[in-house]
Amino acid sequence: MDVSHLLDALNPAQREAVTTDSRHTLVLAGAGSGKTRVLVHRIGWLTEVLGVPPYGVLAVTFTNKAAGEMRHRISQLGGQGGRGMWIGTFHGIAHRLLRLHWHEAGLPETFQVLDSDDQIRLLKRVINDMGLDEKRWPARQAAWFINAAKDEGKRPKHVVGGNPATDTLIRIYEAYETTTRRAGLVDFAELLLRAHELWLNQAGLLQHYQQRFGHLLVDEFQDTNTIQYAFVRVLAGATGSTFVVGDDDQAIYGWRGAKVENVQHYLRDYDGAHTVRLEQNYRSTANILKAANAVIGHNPQRLGKTLWTADGEGEPIDLYAAYNEMDEAQHVVQRIQRWISDGGSPSDCAVLYRSNAQSRALEEALMQAGVAYRVYGGLRFFERAEIKDTLAYLRLIAGRADDAAFERAVNTPARGIGGKTIEQVRARAQAENLSLWEAVLSELGSGALPGRAKNALRGFIELIEQLDRDTKGLTLAEQIDHVLAVSGLRTHYAEESRGTLDARTDNLDELVTVASRFARVEVEEGAEPLPELVGFLAYAALEAGEGQAEAWQDCVQLMTLHSAKGLEFPLVCIVGLEEGLFPGQKSMEEAGRLEEERRLAYVGLTRARQKLVLCYAEARRIHGMDTFGAPSRFLREIPKDVLHEVRPRVQVSRPAFSSPAPRARFAAEPTPAGLKLGALVSHAKFGAGVITDFEGDGPHARVQVNFEEAGSKWLVVSYANLQMG
């Protein structure tokens, strides 16, 4: 058998991963090491060489874009392609499973998926119905609590209480669960939990899928949470084969429930699992990789790998010490302009920062210079208000029990249904355990509502019923166009957009276009196809705009370091590399956070292909006050031989201060006792830290030290016994 098309383009480590005969394999894939190629070629090896039928393969990715790319690449390999194969995100696969087995999962056939905004909206109603103060019990806090519990596989009865705050949140969770079950609504976290419970409660069904999916492949394994890993383990069972690809050095989503420990747990749970390290990098220069390796090397408990490249050393990494954030922004713009004047493209350039708040100075400088830019990660298509309003009408047409959709649509556009009327409807819904739609019908029959409110509600009910009747037999695009016209949404948003740059009606037109191109999802053999509208609504909730953004013009891209994961650019500028900003102050106060911040730095460094520019500011205005910071410890962890320190070439106006401002340069001026600002010191009790400020002299001289473990402390120099280094 000729397997050259599967192996010829692979390096030795990639080839080892693709051809392994181990039942369980962990591929530690460094940044830019070709992990997608390995996954695709592994699937090709399974189907073409080992004779595994495509329907026996389940491949899980973390984005719909990645899933689409994988399907495309598999089809290009030839052979049997991906027909019959399940490839998708955890949420997408869970959704597919629940659609096939809705009855066994205890769901209505036409259950709807709640996105995060609608979950918040529903929780506000639940909290209000419970008589709780929304200010003390914000819906977002409750959503975080509920989603975190579900990510751990916990229903309300499994959550340990013991204090009044937790007990109240558990009660909110219980009430929310009652509401969603009654309305046939499923939030994102519920998709995974319900699918996992389906495995556990339906032994015959689990056995069927264990026999079918003998080979499980998981991408970005370091980003899995507890329920996702449990999902994989249960499905694999005692006979399945697992092939997981991840990088513990790029685990940056601990704040949203991801467990980097799952990588090590995998080796524990599957004793004898084969580990393959992909260390050859095809993205960055040797100097960039040397810097990234050095930084991440300071993290303990790594499984360990060292990135290398067969290409040359490349240019040194520029390090710029700015006076303030405006000077920093101006330098970045000048560096981008130089890149463009040398023949590069604006879209080659990305500016990365720790927090969105840092974009202001950069945007201002780019605008003044006339350089086109885009802030990456703005509102996605399906997250825009006008789109969500339209979808709310469509969801009500699909199922009247959808309370979240009812609340969004009932007074949009305004039709004289005020908050007091809605409160009365909610009260009846709670008292009689009804959906809001049913509660309105009950109110209309009771005569309790004032005449004007009753007429407005009756008009809305009749509108939805009319839309349902009128759209039967129409194509999906025609349905949406009709809803926009008859509901008044198109007129409403045309008036709202008048005199503004943002024409929301353009987005409504695009929604109709998206609907016209919508293709029904593949269904299992023997299963009834979903109604087109239900399928489209599920697609809108699950995709959340992936692939639906406007066409990108040739422009500089501004984004957070988190947003940059998975992307690469010829020129990357990372700004705000100061202690307290990156790493953030909180990371030094919570266990494990500093390691995740360092992994985030590693991700940022490895986004650059050719040129990397690092910046920090001596002074930065935060919350209206000028603050002074030392260079980030991540800068000090980079070998000096790959750095080129760039000095300011122009005089920048500085704010006037009442006290001398410490200069947070590498070559900082001396503090008392010969210590230097920015210097590394160690203390017998507090451990290692960096000097960030000083005051006084003689026996009363004090220094401020930011310790890695203990946080920021003021110490009297004569008593502190600080050691250098």
Residues in the chain, overall count:
725
Reply yes or no: is the peptide bond before residue 655 cis, omega within 30 of 0. Answer: no
What gap in Å lies between CA 608 and CA 534, rounded to an integer?
42
Q: What angle do helix axes 451-471 and 385-398 make, rounded to 10 degrees?
A: 80
36 among known catalytic residues: yes
H-helix segments, 517-660? 532-543, 593-605, 633-636
Q: Which of 220, 328, 443, 543 is catalytic?
A: 220
Enter the DSSP assignment of 104: T
Cβ-contact 36, 70 below 8 angstroms: yes
Gyration radius from the chain CA atoms: 29
Q: Which of 25, 250, 390, 671 is catalytic?
A: 250
What gap in Å lies between CA 411 and CA 607, rounded to an integer?
46
Q: Which of 187, 219, 543, 578 is catalytic?
A: 219
35 among known catalytic residues: yes
User: At CA 255, angle to CA 252 and CA 256, rounded to 5?
Assistant: 100
What gap in Å lies between CA 566 and CA 31, rounded to an integer?
9
What gap in Å lies between CA 666 and CA 113, rounded to an integer?
53
> Position of tokens 């004779």?
51
Residues 6+ apart with CB under 8 A from 235: 58, 199, 206, 209, 210, 213, 216
Cβ-contact 150, 191 below 8 angstroms: no
Write the burial class of residue 267 (CB in 10 Å: 0-12 exposed, 13-18 middle, 19+ buried): middle
Three-state SS at 83: coil
597 among known catalytic residues: no
- HSE-up of 341 (CA within 13 Å, CB side)? 6
Alpha carbon separation from 546 to 65, 382, 520, 542 (Å, rounded): 7, 9, 17, 9
What gap in Å lies between CA 354 and CA 600, rounded to an integer?
9
Q: Which of 125, 428, 490, 607 is catalytic?
A: 607
Q: Which of 19, 20, 36, 275 is catalytic?
A: 36
> Position of tokens 């499984």?
303
φ, ψ (nearest 5 deg) of residue 164: -55, -40
Cβ-contact 186, 194 below 8 angstroms: yes
What is the token pair recorded at 254? Answer: 């601990």
Closest CA to 259 of 218, 230, 224: 224
Alpha carbon separation from 361 to 327, 329, 410, 585, 601 (Å, rounded): 9, 6, 41, 21, 21
133 among known catalytic residues: no
What is the token pair recorded at 725? Answer: 């280094």
What is the token pair recorded at 413? Answer: 């556009």
Q: Which of 35, 96, 384, 633 is catalytic?
A: 35
φ, ψ (nearest 5 deg) of residue 58: -125, 120
Three-state SS at 74: helix
Alpha carbon separation from 4 to 10, 18, 49, 398 (Å, rounded): 10, 13, 12, 51
250 among known catalytic residues: yes
Q: Which helix (H) or strand (E) segment is 476 a member of?
A: helix 476-487
Cα dihedral across residues 66, 70, 71, 76: positive or negative: positive
220 among known catalytic residues: yes
Beta bridge partners of 682: 688, 723
φ, ψ (nearest 5 deg) of residue 290: -60, -40
Closest CA to 192 of 220, 231, 222: 231
Residues 6+ apart with CB under 8 A from 608: 284, 288, 568, 569, 570, 571, 572
Enzyme catalytic residues: 35-36, 219-220, 250, 607
